[in-house]
Amino acid sequence: MTEVVIEAGPGTIRGPNDAPPKWVSAALDCVDDEFALLDDRPMSVEDVWADVMTSIAGAHVATAVVVCPGWWPATRIHRVRHAAYTAATEVVLLERVHILRALFSDDATVVEIASDVAVVSASGTVAAAVPLQKNAMLDAEAVAAAIGSPAAVVVDAPVGVLGAAVLASTIADRMRAIDVPVRIADDDDVLRVSAAQRSRSDVGSEDVAAGRSHRKLFAVLSGVLTVMVLCGAFAASHQSPDDGAPMTLLVEGRIGVLVPATWTARRITSGPGSARVQVVSPADADVALHLTQSSTPRPSTLAETAAALSAALAETAAGAFVDFNASDRREDREAVTYREVRPERHVAWTVMVDGTTRIAVGCQSAPGREDLVREACDRAIRSAHAVS
């Protein structure tokens, strides 16, 4: 009986043995779905993941140490864990971010590069999710702004993520230009440190270095809502989150948005307005974010989005939607904006376009108390992006 280390995501799945590349691609591309098309046949994604894990782990495995991205939602982690148990008697899950931090120091800020977003973590908490424009210089500038001037930075350049190595190098150049120590990590570093950490510890079955963070993480994925809220009492103060407030990356369908980690997410499918996810402050039920999305057959322009919204709002009750602006700018992003006015609450809507996805962020507060939601609102708008 043996122990193996397996890297699961974001760009590949690998370990001591190989799995057919098309299996790995199907497992990752369809990780949030129920079925995948493999060799022109529909297959359960659960079965695809099980086959990949079994092939990579090999026979007679006692323990599988599985390293996952720290920003992956709980639904993905559950799928990976379930698949790992088909290959091993014991499963240990580790967060990639903790492994990366161990390469430098516990004080290091970590940048995890994925295909659509760069996730910045500091002090064990997601600090920013930067949508990527597929331009290394522009993306590095945006990531550097999100990082600030920390004591040290580890940049993750995962195998299988197109352009990750170039972006990591460009980010590192920007950090070194302001005298911040930087290390670029690759998948070999992740596997090596994971094995070393496991050998030095007595981590129990299913113990997750990620477990502590996942209690802070809530995610909505493929129609399934999973809510993880921080433990502890919440003071009923009327205070908007400051820049140091813990944030988490919420994924709903095909969009990702940074939201306060202590707020509670729930799906709203009835009542006025579109189906949406509502993220509510624990301190004040009138303070909330609303997230909606829609897809278009082809990439849409802001003007087309504004025209469609204007036509839809024209059919609503007079006075319910006001201050429509077809060409506004919020948090340095082009957007359509308007306000929804209800007797008990106001919602400031910002609608953005990312390829074939229209993303709407609604910022709710009691009339005249917009300051209570402003910081959470601004950070949600800055981070909102389409995910593939």
Tens digit of each residue's pLDDT (9 = 90 or more) over 65-81? 999 988 887 788 999 99
> For the whole model, what pTM was predicted?
0.64
Q: Say if residue 300's pLDDT is above 50.
A: yes
Whether 222 is in a domain gets the answer no
Task: Examine the domain organization and report whether 50 and 27 are in the same domain.
Answer: yes
219: three-class secondary structure by DSSP = strand
Domain hosting 376: range is: 247-386
**110: Cβ–Cβ under 8 A, 6 or more apart, which residues?**
97, 100, 101, 120, 121, 122, 153, 154, 155, 156
Q: Say if residue 224's pLDDT is above 70.
A: no
**127: Cβ–Cβ under 8 A, 6 or more apart, which residues?**
109, 120, 121, 146, 247
Whether 92 is in a domain gets the answer yes
Task: Examine the domain organization and report whether 17 and 104 are in the same domain.
Answer: no
Whether 217 is in a domain gets the answer no
Task: Examine the domain organization and report whether 107 and 85 are in the same domain.
Answer: no
Task: Examine the domain organization and report whether 66 and 118 are in the same domain.
Answer: no
> Positive or negative CA dihedral for 33, 288, 229, 145?
positive
What is the rounded CA–CA span in Å between residue 293 and residue 282?
A: 24
Whether 205 is in a domain gets the answer no
User: In 111-184, which ranges are continuous DSSP H helix?
Assistant: 136-147, 164-177
Mean pLDDT to the nearest integer, 142-159: 91
CATH number, domain with residue 356: 3.40.1000.10
| 6-20, 91-105, 195-209: segment of lowest average pLDDT | 195-209
* Last residue in a domain, options 96, 130, 150: 96
Task: Examine the domain organization and report whether 77 and 122 are in the same domain.
Answer: no
**234: Cβ–Cβ under 8 A, 6 or more apart, which residues?**
262, 282, 283
Q: What residues form DSSP beta bridges with 110? A: 121, 154
When pLDDT is cut at 50, 70 and 90, the band that residue 220 belongs to is very low
- Beta carbons of 160 and 12 less than 8 angstroms apart: yes
More confident residue, 186 or 93: 93
Whether 197 is in a domain gets the answer no
Q: Say if residue 283's pLDDT is above 70.
A: yes
Task: Examine the domain organization and report whether 148 and 258 are in the same domain.
Answer: no
What is the rounded CA–CA span in Å between residue 208 and residue 123?
A: 17
Task: Examine the domain organization and report whether 118 and 63 are in the same domain.
Answer: no
- Beta carbons of 208 and 95 less than 8 angstroms apart: yes
CATH number, domain with residue 103: 3.30.420
- Beta carbons of 30 and 36 less than 8 angstroms apart: yes
Task: Examine the domain organization and report whether 380 and 313 are in the same domain.
Answer: yes
Give first-to-last CA distance, the chain, whole Å.
Answer: 38
Task: Examine the domain organization and report whether 44 and 27 are in the same domain.
Answer: yes
Task: Provide the b/e sequence for 352-383 (b: ≥16 CB within 10 Å).
Answer: bbbeebbbbbbbbbbeebbebbebbbbbbbbb
Task: Examine the domain organization and report whether 70 and 168 are in the same domain.
Answer: no
Amino acid at 211: G
